[in-house]
């Protein structure tokens, strides 16, 4: 078992007004699972992904990661865990515009304190894996949308995380490029990576082995699809 969420609730406050985003989520993710989370806008799917990935903390409930409760860790402890264990891929790529593809991918390794020589080896290895070795010295504005997402995937993978989280990873891409990106996720799943993808696109969700549907902050369906 990699992740276990028990009665997770999340409430946001705007002044005196409260907004419940998650309403008692119970969920277990096993190592090696390839999971898609679907739901309408405002259903809580991105909030759930952020809690799983240590970007946010629950208002109530318990979250166990690899058997250890992480619900009440400090921001510093969560940041360390996040950098070591999780690779993120976002819809908007979140690349730093002034850095090359190489430097963007290198960032998590710098935070990890890895030496220069080993960083270079790992970055070039992972850029080659996503087909971008020849574009290592290009900045984001010199790359296509698909290439930028490949850089983002490389950055997510470079620390060899236990968990890969993707939030609408094909949302800003045309259908052909989106299919190419999903082929990368499919290959990662075949390698035994644990992947959770949040999407509104049934075609993207169909790549996963498990489908979870969320409405109004609650899981309404959880099924194996392959």
Q: What pLDDT, on the 0 to 100 scale, is given for residue 46? A: 93
DSSP 3-state assignment of 166?
A: strand
- Tens digits of residue pLDDT in 53-79: 999 999 999 999 999 999 888 989 999
Domain 32-58+74-224 has CATH 3.40.50.300: yes
Q: Following DSSP, what letter does each residue of 49-62 receive, concatenated? A: HHHHTTSS--SEEE
Q: What pLDDT, on the 0 to 100 scale, is given for residue 111? A: 84
Query: Is the dihedral angle over the CA atoms 92, 94, 95, 97 positive or is it negative?
Result: positive
- Tens digits of residue pLDDT in 139-179: 999 999 999 999 999 999 999 999 999 999 999 999 999 99
Which of 82, 74, 26, 87 has its CA nearest to residue 54? Answer: 82
For residue 162, give the DSSP letter: S
- Tens digits of residue pLDDT in 106-135: 999 998 888 999 999 999 999 999 999 999
Cα-based angle 171, 214, 35 (whole degrees, multiple of 5): 65
| Sequence-ordered strand ranges (E) for the chain | 3-14, 17-29, 34-38, 60-65, 68-69, 86-90, 163-167, 194-198, 210-215, 218-224
Give the residue extent of every domain in the chain: 32-58+74-224
- Tens digits of residue pLDDT in 178-224: 999 999 999 999 999 999 999 999 999 999 999 999 999 999 999 99
């Amino acid at each position: 078992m990699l992740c276990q969420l028990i009665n997770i609730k999340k409430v946001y406050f705007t002044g005196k007004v409260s907004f419940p985003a998650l309403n008692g989520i119970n969920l277990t993710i096993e190592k090696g699972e390839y999971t898609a989370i679907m739901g309408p806008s405002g259903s809580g799917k991105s909030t759930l992904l952020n809690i799983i990935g240590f970007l946010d903390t629950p208002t109530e409930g318990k979250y166990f990661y690899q058997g250890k409760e992480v619900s009440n860790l400090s921001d510093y402890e969560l940041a360390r865990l996040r950098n070591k264990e999780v690779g993120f891929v976002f819809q908007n790529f979140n690349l730093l515009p002034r850095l090359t593809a190489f430097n963007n991918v290198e960032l998590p390794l710098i935070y990890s304190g890895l030496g220069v020589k080993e960083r270079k080896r790992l970055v070039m290895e992972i850029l080659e894996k996503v087909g971008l070795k020849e574009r290592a010295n290009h900045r984001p504005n010199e790359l296509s949308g698909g290439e930028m997402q490949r850089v983002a995937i490389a950055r997510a993978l470079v620390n060899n995380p236990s968990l890969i989280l993707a939030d609408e990873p094909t949302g800003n891409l045309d259908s052909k490029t989106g299919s190419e990106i999903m082929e990368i996720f499919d290959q990662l799943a075949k390698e035994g990576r644990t992947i959770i993808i949040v999407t509104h696109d049934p075609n993207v969700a169909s790549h996963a082995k498990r489908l979870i549907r969320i409405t109004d902050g609650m899981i309404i369906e959880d099924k194996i699809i392959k």
